[in-house]
Structure 1
């Protein structure tokens, strides 16, 4: 099935080569704005603001004020805002109630183009977060991360399909491989899922073993890859300068 592309400002996920996102993980507003200047200079497609690293994340006014400064600094570059919970590899534990309040605060702030919503919370709350985001024309990138293992092909496809079923605009799964076979499982699942789902997918196999999955998205069906300018936010991320060339070398004519 041909994926329907999803527009984030001046880029389209699901069309052409995989787009490149760079996480920004500063703890202070000054650190964040400095990192953003570096990412802009390196010409990423998307900035992912990892608000679980931000020391003002639980102060709604401070979060919104910083988000609006980020928006002004980015110009027309797309912004994805993510609070990664501790159980899925993030920096900060947060109750489900607080997590969804935070999602609402981000959406209400008017600065982000996309919001990461973790799938495996209370389903009614997930659906409400999607509804709130869509009401403000914010794209929902729904996610699930398994830092322990690589599930079976059918399970990865089920997770991606499950995200689409609850309203995700883009479905994302990241898994940890322990063998070459695990990497092949992730790539096979991605290829099969894109044949049945019309929404763009983001998938990756983490760590050194999985680096090939970050490069070969156009071949297998992943629409976005996460790169680094400075510190990595997940195992196996490749520097933006290198990843640009590698993805261009694998471009399908």
Structure 2
């Protein structure tokens, strides 16, 4: 069973992950406090929004503040690169240094590692994460288009073959057929790896259905917004929680 902190990524109703973003530690603290009475399973710190993200001590301060505010929350640490829709561009060497710093901090339960990065660095990071008992979500994001069925399945399977605990892919649909391609590819990979979690989503207004259909097609986690969405098409987490529970209840 793959987990992120106390959140088990098993089959059934998808877990809800809420991203928090802030340019300063104070903004992050306010984001954390806003979540106190909200329904979610995992909190994702999108550290690429932090103004001082190129300073490891500043990142350490942010990590400590978020963990202090949310001591019992399952915690996913993510630096989304500029190439995949993130806020800040950094050298690839620093990208991996940052992730390994978070792993070694003892304050995170999982880290996001992008699939289209240096493979030797990915493998080294996977080894460090395993040593510290930190779950690795390997990811790929396309904010322009939806890859073909074969490309989506190939990337998700490639992530698993590299050693990812969780394979994640998000893409932008330009038609309803694109959404069906993403859902069909998700189902195909889940059928091949029935006991291993994958996370997929089709972004934007067209893709909203993919954010609530994980129980049917095999995506183990969905992303909702609290104050500010980190990607187009995210639903408010309270509404998302209600929809998922309604759909889940209708299956029993």
Q: Give the superposition deviation at 1:10.
A: 2.0
1:250 aligns with 2:243: no
Equivalence for 2:208: 211
- Name the SS of the counterpart of 1:126 in structure 2: helix
Q: What is the CA distance between 1:65 and its match in structure 2?
A: 2.5
- Give the one of 192, 197, 201 matched to 1:200: 197
Q: Distance in 1 between matches of 2:69 and 2:130?
A: 24
Contact 1:187/1:213 (CA < 8 Å) preserved in 2?
yes
SS at match of 2:36: helix
Residue in 1 that maps onto 2:102: 106
1:49 aligns with 45
Q: TM-score, normalised by structure 2?
A: 0.96
Question: Aligned to 1:169, which of 165, 187, 190?
Answer: 165
Structure 2: state its 5+ residue gaps: none
CA distance in 1, matches of 2:203, 2:10: 21
Whether the 8 Å contact between 1:164 and 1:199 is mirrored in structure 2 is: no
- Counterpart CA distance in 1 for 2:12 and 2:213 is 13
How is 1:140-159 mapped onto 2 (pairs within 5 angstroms)? 140-159=136-155
Runs (4+) of structure 1 exceeding 6 A deviation are none
* Pairing partner for 2:237 from 230, 236, 240: 240
Number of corresponding residues: 249
Query: Do 1:115 and 1:141's aligned partners in 2 also have CA atoms closer than 8 Å?
Result: yes
What do you get for the CA RMSD once the two structures are aligned?
Answer: 1.1
Please give the alpha-carbon distance, in whole angstroms, between the structure 2 residues aligned to 1:47 and 1:26: 13
Where does 1:84-99 land on structure 2 (aligned, <5 Å)? 84-99=80-95
Q: TM-score, normalised to structure 1's length? A: 0.96
Matched residue, 1:226? 223
Gaps of 5+ in 1: none
Please state whether the residue corresponding to 1:209 is helix, strand or coil.
coil
Residue 23 of structure 2 is matched in structure 1 by 27
Measured in 2, the distance between the counterparts of 1:178 and 1:63 equals 36
